[in-house]
Amino acid sequence: MTKRSNLIDGEWTDAESGDTFDTYDPASPDEVVGTYPESAAADAERAVEAAAAATEEWGSTPGPKRGRILSRASSILADRKGELAELLVREEGKTEREAGGEVQRAIDIFDYYGSKARDIGGKVKGASGADTVLRTKQEPVGVAALITPWNYPVAIPAWKIAPALAAGTTAVIKPATLAPGCTHAIAEALDEAGLPDGALNVVTGPGSEVGDTIASHDAVDAVSFTGSTGVGNAVYDTATADGKRVQLEMGGKNPTIVSDAADVGTAARIASWGAFGVTGQACTATSRAIVYEDVYDEFVDAIVEQADGIEPGDGLAGGDMGPQVTEDELEGTLDYVEIGRTEGATLETGGEALEREGHFVEPTVFSDVDPDSRLAQEEIFGPVLSVIQVSGYEEALEVANGVDYGLSAGIVTNDHHEANSFVEDIDAGVVKVNQQTTGVELHIPFGGMKASSSETYREQGEAGIDFYTISKTVYDSY
């Protein structure tokens, strides 16, 4: 068990109240992994004030120098990759392979933005008149409030912190209380890499105290949130009340269409990776397989075989699929299994909690799912796949788009025309052809549509820097 502190103005400090909370291993729920400050509004206010005081120094630091600090942090994280992956497994529950991949993602993000920091400045355009220079100038937006979820506890903090700092914007981050340890590790690496005091501040505690305070504080200029749609909408209302810039990424109900022009075995593997990887605890997880009637029965058999071949277990002991993060998340998944039964869907496999220590559940497949049912409409956030039969492409598209969400969507097909039509027709911010709905590249934009996103700013790539900068247009005659 490790005790950690808040980082405020370069100092590692406890909450003013002295209160703490513990995190627990989802595979061994009685085992305490870490102890953290249970901060309140006063702690969050001090963090915002520190970030505001650091804006001039960090914002005026040349981009290449900012980039070198991010690159050094990337190297430090790389040196600690094994340690961080183990911490991630023990706090969040991923398998060791999944955790290692996520940590590598954070390492790569800091390396990427370390390089991109050199390019931040502006563009020169041709002026209409003679003896005139027309250009833009990018400047830091000021102070950013970052609110991150538990399901990707190192990658998502990295892809918010790194572009903010690359842009010269200072930040206060509130990581999820279920798995805050990796955010502290990022802060430690940046501190060791030479980040000035106050440029990044980390405050742990409940959203009602810390999250609300940083989202509403007068000194905060931008708010970036990833989490549930309900909480995200509340953050949006709070942040925009006084004109803050807001970026929200929220839930998903992601489809994979399986065409009769697909190889069914390949389609089942792709759907399985998307549905059961990271225990289904991803906003981009495949929740619906929408299958053409000519290959429906064959696909159901193939996806059941895939699910039955997955052995849930402790991520540090070689399990194929880790536990759900808490008892509440497990119970929520089991509730949806019961809803599916009640609605008349056919439970093909899974649906039971494992009779062992930890929050483990079997990979679950339902067939004969009504596209208008709760099972097919509501985000579950567990390893549950609904298989829906359709007559062909037009009906498949109607079903795929017939939900409130629009984050990630895929099609498996060997028909090039069908694939290109899907790219044009689907209402989703991330579109996959012959790939799982999970997993995205770090150097291109990420974000959703409809209830999955605020549809304001995208994350990652150059779009990530756009959110944390504001542009001036300069007309210079000589």
Report the alpha-carbon distance of residue 278 to residue 272 in Å, rounded.
11
8 A C-beta contact, residue 368 and residue 297: no
Terminal CA-CA length for the chain: 65
Strand segments, DSSP code E, in 59-131 are 124-125
H helix or E strand, kind and range, residue 473 = strand 469-477
Which stretches of 283-342 are assigned E, i.e. beta strand? 286-292
CA 176 to chain CA centroid, nearest Å: 12
H helices of 167-263, where?
181-193, 212-216, 229-240
At residue 207's C-alpha, the angle toward residues 254 and 375, to 5°, is 25
Residues 6+ apart with CB under 8 A from 67: 113, 114, 115, 116, 117, 118, 166
DSSP helix/strand/coil, 139:
strand
List the strands of the sheet with 430-433, edge to edge.
346-349, 364-367, 384-390, 286-292, 254-258, 408-412, 430-433
Q: Does 92 participate in catalysis according to the annotation? A: no
CA distance 135 to 111: 28
The Cα 465–Cα 478 span in angstroms is 31
List, in sequence order, the alpha helices (H) in 167-228: 181-193, 212-216
Q: What are 361's strand-pairing partners?
A: 353
CA 383 to the chain's CA centroid? 17
Torsion-angle region of 4 (φ positive above 0: left; ψ -120 to 50: alpha; else: beta): beta
- Which one of the listed residues 96, 188, 249, 348 is annotated catalytic? 249
Query: Where in the sequence numbering do the catalytic residues fall?
Result: 249
